[in-house]
Structure 1
């Protein structure tokens, strides 16, 4: 796997007062010229019929189509199309029935009863309670190495006495238990046979996999009407835009710079939709590192970051400041105070440990090689330089970068939690018992009070009391800063005019593909060739 390493140029402390604006203006012309050149060099393809494959271009393709094992956002979004789950979530992120309804017979005994919808696997066999039992037993098997095992470890047993009923017995009460069961169900016979779901998924979802001819191209079929789809990985955002305007792909979702979004809004042949997002972007720290393990360093970084400038000039209004992992509309969310921009305070924090402009603290920041993420890293680098932190940026292809984060090979990094629904994220990411491989506490954060609050909240039957306990967890996390909260990025969907019916989700899932359609053949177009 190739690894690229670069150090972004340091900013002079007496340089531009607004580095975010400088970063945007310095690259805006380059981006638009590149797009113009790419488009001008090509000629439009021949028209395609209405029933031709609908093509969605992604920044990266899925890596694992086994819902028990997938951890990257692309895989989880595609798995939502291929598999059905016992539960779904409402607008407040509370669980509601999907494959099954449920009742709590006792605080530690839940009985799920299967409904009629979504009960046929893509291989033609019928989904029964035995499949649910086999799926969850396989996750709980230590040999499976499933990342969901830690969250579901409270399950003492799962069994079925009837084809339509599944009984979960828990080690301890947990009123939110049904919310943990959002994992796709696999056929028991295939599990027992050792079938390779990661590359050959078999689920009862609205889509089935037709072919995976190359890593960056998947062919799906919508089961209700046979409409073919292609999901195509195209890493470069300029190339994704070129392909959309040429009609080589029909849809794009997210991972576009604000300049490209603005450019697409001015094109008559495409439509741009936008909505508030709920995915949480943050800076993560290694708390076992001698530098980033110090609270003074994390407080200084939090105070040095000017979110308002970044959101105004780099995101151009396409994101909202975040303080908690959940937005205020979530049942466990609240209007927490966003860490304020305070350069003098940042310098004071650094001075306590002997650092400042004359003796800068040197840190390494890891990020992906996506151009927009590199621009964002450069702006953060400039803001930290102004208070006495020399930030070295190291960028990697996605697989290498995420592998380093999972393995704990970092001082600090930037990432986004996608699709957060339930407060079990606090146990998964912050409980001291959830360090890898038992969870995603990759920074090795440990706080006894947080552990107690999480453990207490998990057993609290009253939802309002439970919500307040989780708010206390979030307040303590804001004091300790194992994560520095950044923002919730907007969701953006771009499609050709002849494509309609897509509903954009706040968490960026691809469920809108269930209803999207091409309403007319792609019209013939002529694009002038570049001399």
Structure 2
């Protein structure tokens, strides 16, 4: 049992300030450099030390529209035609920064830092999967990224990247002065503020020019604009955050700071049962990077809200691999071989407290469009192994084949991978499973030249309103090396249409074409059904939809130990 030794203070609302929050997670974060964050586990940490122009406020009722509506963060207000922040054409946004925000070095956060952050977002070194949102929306972003890729070559140094950034501009992103900047778009985009609220769209200090994006060296020299800063980081062991001395509450309308210290244990992936026990006794306060919950026994899991379904998990094939999955028949055989219903049972048994549905497409239910375009229609999601064997034989593999599958190593992800491997073994496909810590898994997926055939991934919605592009565009453009000119044309037409009634059929066609080409196999949809398990001292924990309904750490405070 944890014993409180740090000094604590109690305000008039009864909130105790002080103490050490202890989290336990599976290995190193996939990203600590904000510009490379495209997963909810990393975003949960970077929210503490990296601010964006816009973000989301923790709301007690996750069903409220306010829980999924962007609010100003570093920006003084949301641009609109009423405050002269949005041009009449709907393609020009002027953003003014609120005064007083500073880096932990004491230097003010400026509009030039925002521009530098946008340039780093487009860097060719480990780009985040959200980049296609911006290359298809911001004027000049696609050209800037393409020229950056060409100039960087195969093994750029930090100096090479900084030299390009200093000598090239994104045509549609520029600072008017230290407090004001302009974004010019190629088309009116109703979800642009939601895009600017993504964790990866964070200002970057000049000090970051000395390091490659999210490199081990940068992880040791992170700068903070939020209420906390990284005090120490030992890969594979621990991440420690401490209060940022330059942060002031009156400059941050969203976050709070109630803690003296946050410790994130980063050892081997914890066993869910053991971690649940440590949470109940208070040895650990919160889980990080894994979900541990107390499902109601004997009661079917019902969604917390209809908005939060993730595509989790899905299979992605290496788009540049030269192995058997280059043959569409092999990919289709793999899709038919998987028993999705059995996979759902595996996920339920992991006690993550989520509602689970068999995925009939890449777009979850309750989104702007849900075509249900299942490329592998099987009775009850149980798979068709006979059809899988026929396809393998017809593609020249009557005696089966061996493939390499990489996956993240937390227990639930490993159980999913084993279930898939068992299904494929029944049709003659042997999977060589390669478990990797989340950070290494992300790096391998981002490098399609690596020696792997398929991988297990998940995709949570980046925003929850007007989000037709979140799943379709991420999966059409976010897989490194996957190219289809016709899909690109359909995406452009869908983005050009501001009328959802006209855009929905186009996004459905994008989904159908992507699934016909089979770069991915949709498996399950998941959404939280019960709150995560918390230690007995934890107070003020509020689930944030954009963090996959994990608790917002910036609202947490600690009660006296019992």
Fold agreement, TM-score > 0.5: yes
Q: Is the Cα contact below 8 Å between 2:227 and 2:257 reproduced in 1?
A: no
Q: Cα 1:279–1:143, aligned 2, differ >3 Å: closer, same or farther?
A: closer
Q: What is the aligned partner in structure 2 of residue 282 from structure 1?
A: 314
For 1:514 and 1:95, how far apart are their aligned partners in 2? 17
How far 1:452 moved relative to its partner? 1.2
Q: After TM superposition, where is structure 1 displaced by more than 6 Å over at least 4 residues in a row?
A: 89-94, 192-196
The Cα shift of 1:73 comes to: 5.0
Residue of structure 2 aligned with 1:345, choices 387, 408, 428: 387
The equivalent of 1:227 in structure 2 is: 259
Number of residue pairs aligned between Structure 1 and Structure 2: 458
Are the equivalent residues in 2 in contact too, given 1:366–1:414 (CA < 8 A)? yes
Match of 2:202 in 1: 185
Give the Cα separation in 2 of the matches to 1:373 and 1:459: 38
Partner residue, 2:490: 453
- Kept after mapping to 1: 8 A contact 2:309/2:365: no
Q: Which moved more, 1:467-476 or 1:47-56?
A: 47-56
| 2:426 alignment partner in structure 1 | 386
CA distance in 1, matches of 2:211, 2:405: 40
2: CA distance, partners of 1:412 / 1:192:
34
- The reply to whether residue 57 of structure 1 matches residue 24 of structure 2 is yes
Separation of aligned partners in 1, 2:40 and 2:522: 19
CA deviation profile, 1:216-262 (whole Å, cap 9, x unmatched): 32222466445122222132323544543453321114635xxx756
Shift of residue 394, structure 1, vs aligned partner: 3.1
5+ residue gaps, structure 1, are 1-43, 267-272, 432-439, 524-531
Equivalent residue runs for 1:2-13 within 5 Å: none
CA RMSD of aligned residues (A): 3.8
- Contact 1:108–1:171 under 8 Å retained in 2: no
Tell me the secondary structure at the aligned position of residue 552 of structure 2. Answer: helix
1:372 aligns with 2:387: no
Q: Distance in 1 between matches of 2:324 and 2:210?
A: 49
Match of 1:250 in 2: 285
Distance in 2 (CA, whole Å) between partners of 1:493 and 1:468 is 37
SS in structure 1 at match of 2:79: strand
Query: What TM-score comes out, normalization by structure 2 length?
Result: 0.69
The answer to whether the 8 A contact 2:219-2:233 is kept is no
Q: 1:441 aligns with which of 469, 476, 479?
A: 479
* Deviation of 1:483 (Å): 0.4
CA–CA separation in structure 2 for the residues paired with 1:372 and 1:509: 18
Counterpart of 2:221?
200
Partners in 2 of 1:96 and 1:46 — Cα distance? 38
Q: Does 1:495 align with 2:534?
A: yes
Residue matched to 2:52 = 85
* Distance in 2, Cα, partners of 1:466 & 1:117: 39
Q: Are the aligned partners of 2:23 and 2:264 in contact in 1 as well (CA < 8 Å)?
A: yes
Please tell me whether the aligned partners of residues 175 and 460 of structure 1 are also in contact (alpha carbons under 8 angstroms): no
Q: Displacement, 1:284?
A: 0.9
Determine the structure 2 residue equivalent to 1:417.
459
The corresponding residue for 2:79 is: 102
- The question of whether the paired residues in 2 share the 8 Å contact of 1:79 and 1:184 is answered with no
Rounded Cα–Cα distance in structure 2 between residues aligned with 1:413 and 1:377 = 9
Which residue number in structure 2 is paired with residue 292 of structure 1? 325
Post-superposition shift, 1:52?
1.9
Residue aligning to 1:236: 269
Tell me the CA shift for residue 425 of structure 1.
5.9
Structure 1 residue 453: Cα displacement: 0.5
TM-superposed deviation, 1:214: 5.9
Go from structure 1 to structure 2 and tell me whether the alpha carbon gap of 1:200 and 1:479 turns closer, same or farther (over 3 Å shift). Answer: same
Measured after TM superposition, the shift of residue 380 of structure 1 is 1.7
The separation in 2 between residues aligned to 1:504 and 1:179, in whole angstroms, is 19
1:430 lines up with 2:468 in the alignment: no
Match of 2:59 in 1: none
Write out aligned runs for 1:160-175 (5 A): 160-170=175-185, 174-175=189-190
How far residue 407 of structure 1 moved from its aligned partner, in angstroms, is 1.8
Q: Could you give the per-residue CA deviations for residues 111-168 of structure 1, whole angstroms, max 9, x where no partner exists?
A: 233364883444444434333233324445x587754665342452322335543212
Residues 1:123 and 1:464: Cα distance change in structure 2 (over 3 Å): farther
Kindly indicate whether residue 48 of structure 2 is the aligned counterpart of residue 68 of structure 1. no
Aligned equivalents of 1:118 and 1:348: distance in 2?
66
Write the distance in 1 (CA, Å) between the matches of 2:278 and 2:293: 15
SS in 1 for 2:95: strand
Separation of aligned partners in 2, 1:382 and 1:137: 44
Give matches, 1:307-326, under 5 Å: 307-316=340-349, 318=354, 319-326=356-363
Contact kept? 2:333, 2:389, Cα under 8 Å: yes
Name the residue aligned to 1:472.
509
**For 2:35, what is the secondary structure of its paired residue?**
coil
Give the drift of 1:309: 1.9
Q: 1:509 to 1:61 in 2, by over 3 A?
A: farther
- Which segment is superposed worse, 287-296 or 447-456? 287-296
**Contact 1:83-1:184 within 8 A present in 2 as well:** no
Over 3 Å counting, the alpha-carbon distance change for 1:72 and 1:176 in structure 2 is closer
| CA shift digits 1:157-191 (9 cap, x unpaired) | 32233554321234566554444323343365555
